[in-house]
Structure 1
């Protein structure tokens, strides 16, 4: 299995949107499956892996609502892909099945306008404390750009952190002149997670224009100490605690918030889906109940003679 995973990392992973994340998952897979043979992979072994991952990583920190072995599901999907690639390349011809854990219930957490304002204000004013002395350093201020861009565009965290002021290979970019955020990284292959270009809201465009003037030089939209930000997980977790919000608030909560706000405004679900780059059915399933006209016709009809 170590050979199977290595071939996948060499051949396929470099083309992924976030190959470093694929490498992290591969490392966990190697720890458990690395010394196993390909013909040992079965449902019992996959369930054992899921049990070993239960309660670790993102599952526990996000409130444990991803279901049993939730953190293992994405890992095992990579294992399945690695075995599939190994077979397609002709290295083995037997059928090897990877059994995935049951899909957990999707999180429904989004921010109210007041919560979003509180989180932004916390990121803007928080100062770093060193040896009991409050300094002028603002360790969370870079999150303000991330939060605003996420709330106003509904973009995935990776597209926001990868965004630059100018076009370039492997980067998403903001086109202030045309009022567009090109979320799909240039030159990257299309995946099932669509990332179409999105129109900039007037308020967001004003923010971006000001940030561009402040930045001057070319670079990423979200920066910390002059360098691009790889992840906001730790910083955002701290901001959420300081703002008094629950641990279920994550980077993806911004995307959920954008969707729920648009639906609550009465925007047709088809247009919301197009704005976020997802299916209309997903919008209906997860956010339909916040629409101001949700089931109005049925509720009125049931009481009529």
Structure 2
């Protein structure tokens, strides 16, 4: 089967999900064009280790891997649709890049937000109409050109939402945009009817109260979109990276930090806070629990806590037999039964208006002697005569 036909069928099947996402449609079209440039005059049986290697030499490793993943998906779709026989094909993909999970510290986020919020605009007298004495001078203006970056940072770190959804989000419900329900405090990160890939889920989440207060104030002051400039939604890439380089000038400290690091920051901070239910964090970030534990689990305060306890308590290095384990379990059961018996005796005293002086005695009596004490208390409770019991117990104490 011609590879061109396989790619055409794949394009017809996948492209509808990008109809309202121009940037993603542009990227998808670019990838299909790159595949056709190389594979367009070949058939599926020409796909092998050697041809994949030749294709990969023309692109960066990560780019070639992404293109070949699309090609593999197209072939698998053709097989699933029975447009061709199920033939084993050796897709030789470049190795996946090492995952980077850098996150921002609270101090770094605070500096970035503060710098982007307070930065003033400037005007330079460089035009022909500028007076000679002012030409070349620069003065600050009342404009705040990077405040939309501060809003992006707060939304990204607090919600862990992907960049494109934050940049598209609207306070007014409209078709083709994520919606922020300010009344109920819910961020609908995908719109009704949107086809969302399984690996890029965008489930609704509850907006933290601190962020919700900011959002309500921004909307009250006239904002229609979460990230906007002059009343229109706007991207943040170039302004964000200029800000990042200015606030964190050290290349080593800044390495690996980008806009997507805000999602890692949200996940890391939630784990560091000690949220007990891992599934709650995973649902908030729209990822599965296994991924959360794999990449962020070591940040949780309870991470490998039993190992820590074993070495801290000194039990590590001492062989613990099954008999010791059974004894420990039996001891725990006996302690629970003894505590229950003590509570029952206190209830008897309370129900019969017995002397309260007996309560501390009950608490101090060994578990083996509680049965005898119980009989004496029950006899005194039936007769109502505590005169013989109380002096004996006080003397015994």
TM-score clears 0.5: yes
Using the TM superposition, give the Cα deviation of residue 200 of structure 1 relative to its aligned residue in structure 2, in angstroms.
Answer: 0.8
What does the per-residue CA deviation read over 1:252-286, in whole Å, with 9 as the maximum and x for residues that have no partner?
Answer: 11110000001000012222112111111111111
Q: 1:168–1:186: 8 Å Cα contact kept in structure 2?
A: no
Secondary structure at the aligned position of 1:53 is classed as coil
Structure index of larger Rg: 2
Structure ranking higher on relative contact order (CA contacts 8 Å, 6+ apart): 1
Q: Which of 9, 27, 34 lines up with 1:21 in the alignment? A: 27
Secondary structure at the aligned position of 1:12 is classed as helix
Q: Which of 220, 227, 240 lines up with 1:236 in the alignment? A: 240
Q: 1:89 to 1:258 in 2, by over 3 A?
A: same
CA distance in structure 2 between the partners assigned to 1:74 and 1:267 by the alignment:
35
Using the TM superposition, give the Cα deviation of residue 120 of structure 1 relative to its aligned residue in structure 2, in angstroms.
Answer: 1.6
What does the per-residue CA deviation read over 1:171-192, in whole Å, with 9 as the maximum and x for residues that have no partner?
Answer: 2110010110011232112421
CA distance in structure 2 between the partners assigned to 1:190 and 1:247 by the alignment:
31
Q: 1:134 to 1:81 in 2, by over 3 A?
A: farther
**Partner residue in 2 for 1:105:** 98
Higher share of residues assigned helix: 2
Normalised TM-score (structure 1): 0.83
Moved more, 187-196 or 175-184: 187-196
Using the TM superposition, give the Cα deviation of residue 114 of structure 1 relative to its aligned residue in structure 2, in angstroms.
Answer: 0.7
CA distance in structure 2 between the partners assigned to 1:214 and 1:28 by the alignment:
46
**Partner residue in 1 for 2:369:** none
Q: 1:227 to 1:287 in 2, by over 3 A?
A: same
Secondary structure at the aligned position of 1:158 is classed as helix
Secondary structure at the aligned position of 2:192 is classed as coil
Using the TM superposition, give the Cα deviation of residue 44 of structure 1 relative to its aligned residue in structure 2, in angstroms.
Answer: 2.4
Q: Which of 49, 53, 57 lines up with 2:55 in the alignment? A: 49
CA distance in structure 2 between the partners assigned to 1:228 and 1:31 by the alignment:
35
Q: 1:244 to 1:31 in 2, by over 3 A?
A: farther
Q: Which of 47, 66, 73 lines up with 1:74 in the alignment? A: 66
**Partner residue in 2 for 1:168:** 174
**Partner residue in 1 for 2:228:** 223
Mapping 1:1-305, distance limit 5 Å = 1-16=3-18, 18-54=24-60, 69-89=61-81, 91-93=83-85, 95=87, 96-126=89-119, 127=121, 133=138, 136=141, 137-192=143-198, 193-215=200-222, 219-229=224-234, 231-244=235-248, 246-268=254-276, 269-303=278-312, 304-305=314-315
Q: 1:170–1:187: 8 Å Cα contact kept in structure 2?
A: no
Unpaired segments ≥5 residues, structure 2: 127-135, 316-397
What does the per-residue CA deviation read over 1:7-43, in whole Å, with 9 as the maximum and x for residues that have no partner?
Answer: 4333321214633332233233334434444332222
Secondary structure at the aligned position of 1:181 is classed as strand
How large is the Cα RMSD of the aligned pairs? Answer: 2.6
CA distance in structure 1 between the partners assigned to 2:54 and 2:111 by the alignment:
42
Normalised TM-score (structure 2): 0.65
Secondary structure at the aligned position of 1:114 is classed as helix
Secondary structure at the aligned position of 2:221 is classed as helix
Q: 1:300 to 1:101 in 2, by over 3 A?
A: same
CA distance in structure 1 between the partners assigned to 2:169 and 2:279 by the alignment:
26
Q: 1:8–1:85: 8 Å Cα contact kept in structure 2?
A: yes
CA distance in structure 2 between the partners assigned to 1:129 and 1:99 by the alignment:
54
CA distance in structure 1 between the partners assigned to 2:34 and 2:309 by the alignment:
54
CA distance in structure 2 between the partners assigned to 1:163 and 1:207 by the alignment:
15
What does the per-residue CA deviation read over 1:154-204, in whole Å, with 9 as the maximum and x for residues that have no partner?
Answer: 111122122111223322110010110011232112421222111011111
Using the TM superposition, give the Cα deviation of residue 129 of structure 1 relative to its aligned residue in structure 2, in angstroms.
Answer: 6.7
